[in-house]
Amino acid sequence: MELPTYFDDFRIKTQPTERQRKVMSEEHIKLRELLAKAPELKDVLLGTFIQGSQRRATSLIGSAAHPCDVDVVAVTNLPRSRFTAAYAHKLFQPFLERHYSGRYKAQDRSWCITVDPEVTLDLVPTSEPDSPQVREAVRSMKALRDWSPTFQTLSEAVKAEARDTADWDRTEPLWIPDRTLQIWERTHPLYLIAWTAKKNQSCSGHFTHTVKAVKWWKREIQPNPKYPKGYPLEHLVGDTCPDAIKSVAEGLTRTLESIAANYRGHAARRETPFLQARGLMEPQNVMKRVEGSDFAAFHANVESAARLARRALDAQDIHESASSWRQLLGPEFPAPPSPGTGGYTPREKPTQLSEGRYA
């Protein structure tokens, strides 16, 4: 059974809390204001914008072990022909030392800033955009610069994202520094935002919730192997979730079944599949950091999860269905009904369906 009200309750329990959203909103605004005023960056920084799972509405509730993170992209005017990736990455360290001393650390493509036990910011520098259109947009376009929607529902937000980012062309990616490889690497966060919003529309608003359900299952129920996780896992869901799904339950079941069927050969060979990065013309595998042995172990977990999800979806009894979904997704999924409750689990308070997004 699809049990939509049960999945609504599950979604609310696993999305960022109101406090976490408030911290994310205040802290990303503070960081961007500090960057804009930094004297050592005034001749270098073109502008900033938000990307990542928060922007794509695919983030989960944060914890000390798994904090919420907001990606702040800092677009510079540094030409790749004159400045190395390592230089661009280190350029922001004096700023971070002054404002976030003891709370930041270098990552391969960003600086991670801890602003709360349950919230981090990822500062992602870029080189000068190749496209004059992108350079101008970073300076002036509200869809990039501000991103402060006042929507009360996710459906309104993703429709606006699809509209506002509809004109970004595949050939206009940004370049970010890879600290480990010491190279500039292409990425297209603008395209990912638009792609996700459009995919969500084609899935009747259920795609982002399906992504979050799969990510929750991976993070909380089957954390080993560690990879794939994060965006590579989200990308995999995007490649396998069918369009026109009618519920999160259907999307979750059919996505798990598609992953199991489509990559059974890769798992048997202990081989990582090639998943082309969205918005890029040249080959780039978003799964390149996932070892073949890890993918095989992950696939085995998916096979089992797909069977359990199918059993839950096909069950004709609410108790059997809810019990199976709870077995798949953990105690955050509502418990099955108790005898004498008329087929519904008693709730301590009404379900709140509003899904605001931080500004």
pLDDT tens digits for 300-354? 999 999 999 999 999 999 999 999 999 999 999 999 987 555 555 544 444 444 4
Q: State yes or no: pLDDT of 63 exceeds 90.
A: yes
Tokens of 36: 């804009």
Set 8, 116, 122, 167: catalytic member: 122
Crossing angle (nearest 10°) for helices 207-216 and 248-262: 60
What's the pTM?
Answer: 0.88
Token pair 């199976």 is found at 324
For position 159, what pLDDT does the model report?
55
Sheet with 68-76, strands from edge to edge, namely 45-51, 68-76, 119-126, 111-116, 104-106
Whole-number Å distance between alpha carbons of 217 and 259: 14
For position 165, what pLDDT does the model report?
52
For position 203, what pLDDT does the model report?
97
Q: Which residue has the higher pLDDT, 135 or 287?
A: 287
pLDDT tens digits for 187-203? 998 889 889 999 999 99
User: Domain residues of the chain, as ranges?
Assistant: 4-329
Contact 231, 239 (CB under 8 A): no
In percent, the amount of the chain with pLDDT more than 70 equals 84
Per-residue pLDDT averaged across 128-137, rounded? Answer: 78
Lowest mean pLDDT among 28-32, 94-98, 280-284, 347-351: 347-351
For position 356, what pLDDT does the model report?
42
Q: Which residue has the higher pLDDT, 166 or 251?
A: 251
pLDDT tens digits for 154-181? 445 555 555 555 554 444 789 999 877 6
Lowest mean pLDDT among 93-97, 221-225, 349-353: 349-353
pLDDT tens digits for 24-60? 999 999 999 999 999 999 999 999 999 889 888 999 9
Ramachandran sector of residue 66 (left: φ over 0; alpha: ψ -120 to 50; beta: rest) = beta
Q: In sequence order, what DSSP letters do the residues of 13-59 get, joined into one string? A: HHSPPHHHHHHHHHHHHHHHHHHHH-GGGTTTEEEEEEESHHHHT--
Contact 129, 75 (CB under 8 A): yes
Whole-number Å distance between alpha carbons of 50 and 157: 15
Distances (CA, A) of 44 to 74, 90, 180: 10, 13, 23
Contact 193, 165 (CB under 8 A): yes
Is position 71 annotated as part of the catalytic site?
Answer: yes
Set 8, 9, 43, 69: catalytic member: 69
Ramachandran sector of residue 285 (left: φ over 0; alpha: ψ -120 to 50; beta: rest) = beta
The residues facing 120 across adjacent strands are: 69, 114
Q: How many other CB atoms are there within 10 angstroms of residue 262's CB atom?
A: 14
Is beta strand 111-116 parallel, antiparallel or unpaired with respect to 183-187? Answer: unpaired
Per-residue pLDDT averaged across 56-82, rounded? Answer: 95
Is position 69 annotated as part of the catalytic site?
Answer: yes
State the amino acid at position 40 in one-letter form. E
Lowest mean pLDDT among 125-134, 165-174, 260-269: 165-174
What are the helix (H) ranges across the chain? Answer: 4-14, 18-37, 53-56, 85-90, 93-100, 132-140, 142-145, 154-164, 189-202, 207-216, 230-240, 248-262, 264-268, 292-314, 318-329
